[in-house]
Structure 1
Amino acid sequence: MKKRKLILTLVIAFTVIFFATACGQKDLIEDERTITMGLLSGPTGMGAAKLMDEGVNLGENAKLEFNLYAAPDQISADIINGTLDIAALPTNLAAVLYNKTDGEVLLGAVNTLGTLYVISKEDAKIESVEDLAGKTIYSSGQGATPEYILRYILENNGIDPDNDVNIRFFQEHAEAASQFAQDLENVVVLPEPFVTSTLIKMDGIETVLDLTIEWEKATQGKSLPMGCIVVSKEFASTYPEALSYILEKYEESIEYVTQNPAQAATLIVQQGILPQEEIAENAIDGSNIVYISAQEAKDSLESYYDVLFKFNPGSIGGEMPDDEFYYSK
């Protein structure tokens, strides 16, 4: 009799556990649907390496796929045509897309702060922005955010970008680095991971200025939000629980990448985000990979957009994004 009672008790217990577990595994998306997330090679995509490796369980009929892109114009085209539901891209491009699509693209979170650095030879004695006066500055990004950031920082340190320094722009980061290698009396502005690869290739050089820190000084403590996650308004409104879960897992992925650079570097290379583990591992710290919700980052984003707008309204799509641009759960 006691044995029968014990068996009955165990059956009931297992039944309760089974149904409790089943209830906990409710499909976040019941429709048969593939959610597509676009990522750029480099710092903007690095934080997703763990997420790409593990995937996300959205439900029996739904799945999350990843597309990797080499250039921002490629990823923006697929956002506009509806191929992508979620994407990691530059914050200024997010504003452009919001304006271009009449509000159909929302900023979900900031995923990358500033990645720009000034490199010089080791004995150049450059300790502040003021020490750049009289120098030739090699850089890429003319007519884009790297130029506007550099000019803003120079101006806020009393340096006229057109008269006190000689800024020479190149089409590619590698070209700017190559020119600097032939002229070590001057300096070069590079983003990660090109900073890391240049430091590995060349002896006798060092990073002398972090433009993210210089930006914070110039803006009274505002951060430099250069990369972000955007989501389609349709996806955000149709599947809010699924989006929250994806963003939660993405934040966990970023935490893993920043706290485990060696292991993360392996994943970054496996996923095709960067080609070499040594560069990936050493570039993680300088890439300023973060997760800051849109609402938390709003003040810094508005400050950043205001600077870009004053240099070139077209750099953010012609007008400042309104409050609806910033996704809120």
Structure 2
Amino acid sequence: MTVLLNRRRMLGAIAAATAGACAAPLTSALAAPAKGLEILGAPNGSTIVLLRLLQSGALNASAPDATFRLWRDTDELRAAIVSGRTSLFTTPTHVPANLANRGLPLKLFAILSMGHLFVISSDTSITSFKDLAGKELVGFFKNDMPDLVFRSIARGYGMDPDKDMTITYVRTPMEAAQMLAAGRATTAILSEPPATAAIMMARKEGRTLNRAISLQDDWKKQHGGLGLPMAGIAVHERLIEESPELLKAMAAGLPGARDWVLSDPAAAGQLGEEKMDMKAPILASALSHFNVVAEPAAKLKPGLVAFYETLLSFQPEALAGKLPPDSFYLDF
């Protein structure tokens, strides 16, 4: 029988978490295994940390029949959340903030990646952001998060990306990666693992591409050392209410899952190929550039707020026009 956590106690636990305190321990009498849980994963490399956690058996007791599948767009994700099919998913960090601001009871549980955006180029004269002045670049997802991060950094250096350089946009990062590899473009803004894919594909064709600029490094320089918390794990409020033991198991297991991914990238790459339709050698090589972490959202709240404020300044609808409430950021 499912025993629901008293709502007043649950809200008190969240309030304590966002204040920086640890939530009160939950007794086994209050917890119930999450039956039939479908975990959704964003198709990016940091999802491999949660996949490893699931594969390791660390969630067997608290989610005994959990399954995993990828989600491809926010409409698919929203449908799964509203229907109750999922209450746990990996995600770019702005997505659950947007959905929470639109009324879905979502919380950000953990951060898995502190940025994986790069400028990749065959032009050896490009070694810093200001070297992009007068250059032609390929970008992707115009006016979405990767593009807005790039534009924010340009503004921080006193540059206008619409005037000081020429950006041609394509639909996906892999399309940009293929253009670079084929020599149909010289420079592109890319996420991982497409950045690594471009470098590896070009090498097979006898071309050399360089990881010219780390956008997360420039972001940190412009934000007082705060990192770029790009990807994480979000949960539905009902999971906090119904299965607090699952959240405790994730909190306990995530650091070990992260360490396994970083210490054995070949095995992590194979797991990604089996479960995420990624090429194992590409993912294995890309992992060192993902800035993989396993940190509570509340711990990284200052960086998240700086990130969200930047998105709001360029594209308010990316977050439904406001910052998420303090209760959005969970601790463990």
Common fold, TM-score beyond 0.5?
A: yes
> Is the alpha carbon distance of 1:328 and 1:163 closer, same or farther for their aligned partners in structure 2, counting shifts above 3 Å?
same
Partner of 2:256: helix, strand, or coil? helix
The answer as to whether partners of 1:30 and 1:61 remain within 8 angstroms in 2 is no
Deviation at 1:79, TM superposition (A): 1.8
Is 1:241 aligned to 2:242, yes or no?
A: no
Tell me the equivalent position of 1:225: 229
Within a 5 Å distance, the mapping from 1:194-233 to structure 2 comes to: 194-202=194-202, 203-233=207-237
Tell me the equivalent position of 1:22: none
Deviation at 1:149, TM superposition (A): 0.5
Tell me the equivalent position of 1:143: 143
Tell me the equivalent position of 1:7: none
Which residue identity lines up with residue 128 of structure 2 in the other structure?
Answer: S
> Is the alpha carbon distance of 1:299 and 1:182 closer, same or farther for their aligned partners in structure 2, counting shifts above 3 Å?
same
Within a 5 Å distance, the mapping from 1:181-192 to structure 2 comes to: 181-183=182-184, 186-192=186-192
Deviation at 1:165, TM superposition (A): 0.7
> Is the alpha carbon distance of 1:61 and 1:90 closer, same or farther for their aligned partners in structure 2, counting shifts above 3 Å?
closer
Deviating beyond 6 angstroms after TM superposition, the runs of 4 or more aligned structure 1 residues are: none
Q: CA–CA distance in 1 between the matches of 2:60 and 2:249?
A: 8
> Is the alpha carbon distance of 1:175 and 1:54 closer, same or farther for their aligned partners in structure 2, counting shifts above 3 Å?
same
Deviation at 1:80, TM superposition (A): 2.8
Q: CA–CA distance in 2 between the matches of 1:207 and 1:243?
A: 37
The answer as to whether partners of 2:62 and 2:245 remain within 8 angstroms in 1 is no
Tell me the equivalent position of 1:111: 112
> Is the alpha carbon distance of 1:75 and 1:163 closer, same or farther for their aligned partners in structure 2, counting shifts above 3 Å?
same
Match of 1:308 among 306, 311, 332: 311
Q: CA–CA distance in 2 between the matches of 1:27 and 1:196?
A: 48
Which residue identity lines up with residue 269 of structure 1 in the other structure?
Answer: E
> Is the alpha carbon distance of 1:183 and 1:216 closer, same or farther for their aligned partners in structure 2, counting shifts above 3 Å?
same
The answer as to whether partners of 1:130 and 1:158 remain within 8 angstroms in 2 is no
Deviation at 1:260, TM superposition (A): 1.4
Is 1:285 aligned to 2:288, yes or no?
A: yes
Deviations 1:87-107, CA, capped at 9 Å, x for gaps? 1011010101111225x1000
The answer as to whether partners of 2:31 and 2:242 remain within 8 angstroms in 1 is no
Tell me the equivalent position of 1:154: 154
Is 1:80 aligned to 2:86, yes or no?
A: no
The answer as to whether partners of 1:29 and 1:61 remain within 8 angstroms in 2 is no
Partner of 2:322: helix, strand, or coil? coil
Deviation at 1:248, TM superposition (A): 2.2
TM-score normalised by length of structure 2 = 0.84
TM-score normalised by length of structure 1 = 0.85
Deviation at 1:235, TM superposition (A): 1.1
Partner of 1:196: helix, strand, or coil? helix
Partner of 1:127: helix, strand, or coil? coil
Match of 1:269 among 257, 267, 273: 273
**251-260 or 69-78, which moves further after superposition?**
69-78
Within a 5 Å distance, the mapping from 1:311-326 to structure 2 comes to: 311-326=314-329
Over aligned residues, Cα RMSD in angstroms? 2.1
Q: In structure 2, list runs of 5 or more residues that go unmatched.
A: 1-27
Partner of 2:66: helix, strand, or coil? strand
Deviation at 1:253, TM superposition (A): 1.3
Q: In structure 1, list runs of 5 or more residues that go unmatched.
A: 1-25
The answer as to whether partners of 2:53 and 2:59 remain within 8 angstroms in 1 is no
